[in-house]
Amino acid sequence: MIVGIDLGTTNSLIAIWENGAPRLIPNSLGEVLTPSCVSVDEDGSILVGRAARERLQTHPQHSAANFKRMMGSDKTVYLGKRAFRPEELSALVLRSLKEDAEAALNQPVTEAVITVPAYFSDAQRKATRAAGQLAGLKVERLLNEPTAAALAYGIHLRDGESKFLVFDLGGGTFDVSVLDLFENVMEVRASAGDNYLGGEDFVSTLVDRFFETAKVPEALRSDARFMQGLSAQVEQAKRALSDSPRTVIQARDGENEYRMELDEAAFEKHCALLLARLRSPVERALRDARLPLAELDNIVLAGGATRMPIVRRMAARMFGRFPSCEINPDEVVALGAAVQAGLKMRDAALDEVVMTDVAPYSLGVSTTVRIAGDQFSHGHFDPIIERNTVIPVSRVKRYYPIQDNQKVVELQVFQGEARMASDNIKLGELEVRLPSGVEDRGVDVRFTYDVNGLLQVEATVIATREVFSLVIEGNPGLLSEQEIAQRFSALSELKIHPRDRIENRTLVARAERLYQHLRGMPREQLGREITRFETALETQDQRIIAPAAKAFREVVDYFDHQSFLLPES
C-alpha cells in the first residue's frame, strides 16, 4: 500500500487511493488535519499534532512548529535537553501519520508519496526524503504540491496538452504555479509568490482595524494575554465570514469591553491592500510561462486562506472566471498525493520535470539606507541574487561606504526574503579594507551561486582592484546514508504517546493553555477541574475516566468560548 502525504508547514494530512478515488484518513482525534507540531511530554514521550500545538504556548521550550521552513539546513531545535534536526521533527510527524493510517487500514504502511513545494531546492528535497526514511517509510516519490493539486482536479484525465494555474494561499505564504501537462510529463512552467503573504496577514490587518474602530488603548498592544486572546477572536471572525455575511469581534480588558461589527464588504475594504498584492505574482507567473490567461484550462485553489470569499472574488476578477474550488483547498494537495500513489500502484504514474535549478532564497548583504541628510537607517537587506533565479548565476552590485574616512567595510551575507537583514539567516561575513586618498571609494560585490548550493562572494575595491573573497559551503545540512541509519535507530527508541490516550492528553494540553490565559476566579475554577480530571486519569479505570472526560470537555469548551469575554473575577 502506498499512501499520499501532504507534509505541510502548519498541518499535515495522509490519504490513500481506494475504490477508484482518494480518501483522507483521520488521526486518532478523528481529524484529517494534524498540526505539524512536536512536543516532548513530562515523561519523555513524544506528542504530535493538536496536543503539541497547545503546548507551544504552555511549554515553548519543549515544543516545536514551522520546522518545514528549516528543512535542508543544519539547524538544531531543542525540545528540553534533546537536540533534533528538522528532518527528525518531520519524521516524527510522518511516523504519527503512518500509525494513524496503519490503525485505520489494519495493515502496515511502508511506502509513501510525499509532497514538497515546487520551489524546494535539491537540499530541501533530500532532507524530505531523509525524513521519510527516518519514519520508516520508503519514499516512492516526492511530488510538487501544485502538481498534486492539479492531479486532485484530474489534470491527468484530460486529452492532449493541458495547462493549469494553481493559486495557493496558505497561512503565511502565497504561491502561484503554472503547470503544463504534455504526453504524461508535468512541468512547472513558472512559479512566483510572496513569502510574506498569507491568511495570518488578514488577521493582523483586522487586529489593527479593531484597535482603531473599537478605540482600544494602544498600550494594550504590549499585553501579551490581551493580544493572544484578540488574535484568536479575530481568527474565528475571519473564518465565520467564510460562511456567513456578518460577525462581531469582542474583547475585554478588566472592566472595559471593546466591540466591532464586521461584514464582508468592510472586511474586503480593510484588506484591500493585501488583496491587491495577490495580483503581481499571478501576472509574473503568467508572463514567465509566456501564457495568455485565455489559454489556461483550469484555475485551481489550494491553501486554507482561499476559503475566504473575498479572496475567491479577487481571484475571479483577476482571471475573468471562477476558479475551481469543489475540493476543500486545505485537503487538495494530500488528495492529489493519493491520486499519484494510486497511479503508481497501477504503474501509470505521471512523470514530472523537477525544477531544482533555481535559487530557493534571495541572497544579499546588509546595507545602510540614507533617509534624509545625515540620517541613516542600518541593517537593511539588499538582495544581490533574487529567489527563483535560474542557477548557476553570477551577479554584481556596487556599494559605497557611508563615511568619507571609513577604512573598513564589514560585508554581512544573508539569505532570506525579509526587509531587515537580522530577520534573515546570516551566512557569513567578509571584511573589506578600503584605501585612503582615492577618488572612487566604491566596492563591487559579486555573488556566484551554483547547483551545489556553493556561494562565492567576491568584493573588488574599484580604485585598487584588490579582491577579498569568501566561499560559503552549500547544503551543509545533509545527512549521509550512514547517519540516517544511526539516527533511525535513535529515533525509533523514542516513545510516541499511546494513540488511545492522545485524546485525553490533548484535552489536558488545551486546558493548560486556557489556564495560562485566564486570571482570577475563572483561572482557579479551571485549575481545580484540571486536577480533578488528572486524578480520574490516574485511576486508569475507563469506567471512571470516560464520564470524567465528557464532563471535563464541557468545562474546557465553556472556558474556551467564554474566556476572552469573561470578567476576571
Joined together, the cell numbers standing for residue 526 give 479551571
Joined together, the cell numbers standing for residue 96 give 504519527
C-beta of 118 vs 536, nearer to ligand AMP? 118
CB of 170 to ligand AMP, least distance (A): 3
C-beta of 193 vs 303, nearer to ligand AMP? 303
Q: Which of 11, 28, 340, 415 binds ligand AMP (CB under 6 A)?
A: 11
330 binding ligand AMP? (CB under 6 A): yes
242 binding ligand AMP? (CB under 6 A): yes
Determine if residue 267 is left, alpha or beta; phi over 0 gives left, psi from -120 to 50 gives alpha, anything else beta. alpha
Q: Which of 75, 225, 239, 501 binds ligand AMP (CB under 6 A)?
A: 239
80-88, 287-295, 301-309, 355-363 -> range binding ligand AMP (CB under 6 A)? 301-309
The answer to whether 495 is a known catalytic residue is no
The answer to whether 215 is a known catalytic residue is no
66 binding ligand AMP? (CB under 6 A): no
Q: Which of 54, 87, 99, 145 is catalytic?
A: 145
7 binding ligand AMP? (CB under 6 A): no
The answer to whether 6 is a known catalytic residue is yes
CB of 524 to ligand AMP, least distance (A): 32
DSSP string for residues in 49-113: SHHHHHHHHH-GGGEE--GGGGTTS---EEETTEEE-HHHHHHHHHHHHHHHHHHHHTS---EEE
The answer to whether 330 is a known catalytic residue is no
Q: Which of 88, 99, 122, 168 is catalytic?
A: 168
Binders of ligand AMP among 176-215, rule CB under 6 A? 198-200
53 binding ligand AMP? (CB under 6 A): no
Compute CA distances 319 → 102, 275, 278, 415, 537, whole Å.
Answer: 42, 14, 12, 33, 55
C-beta of 71 vs 491, nearer to ligand AMP? 71
Binders of ligand AMP among 302-321, rule CB under 6 A? 303-305, 307-308
- What secondary structure, in 3-state letters, does 229-283 show? HHHHHHHHHHHHCCCCCEEEEEEEECCEEEEEEEEHHHHHHHCHHHHHCCHHHHH
C-beta of 5 vs 555, nearer to ligand AMP? 5
Closest CA to 7 of 107, 92, 102: 92
Q: Which of 125, 189, 238, 513 binds ligand AMP (CB under 6 A)?
A: 238
DSSP string for residues in 289-351: HT--GGG-SEEEEESGGGGSHHHHHHHHHHHTSPPB-SS-TTTHHHHHHHHHHHHHHTT-PPE
**Number of residues this chain uses to bind ligand AMP (CB under 6 A):** 17
Closest CA to 73 of 130, 135, 153, 114: 130
C-beta of 124 vs 504, nearer to ligand AMP? 124
Residue whose C-alpha cell is 475571519: 238
Alpha carbons 294 and 183: distance in angstroms, whole number? 21
- Which residues contact ligand AMP (rule: CB under 6 A)? 10-11, 170-171, 198-200, 235, 238-239, 242, 303-305, 307-308, 330
Residues classed as catalytic: 6, 68, 145, 168
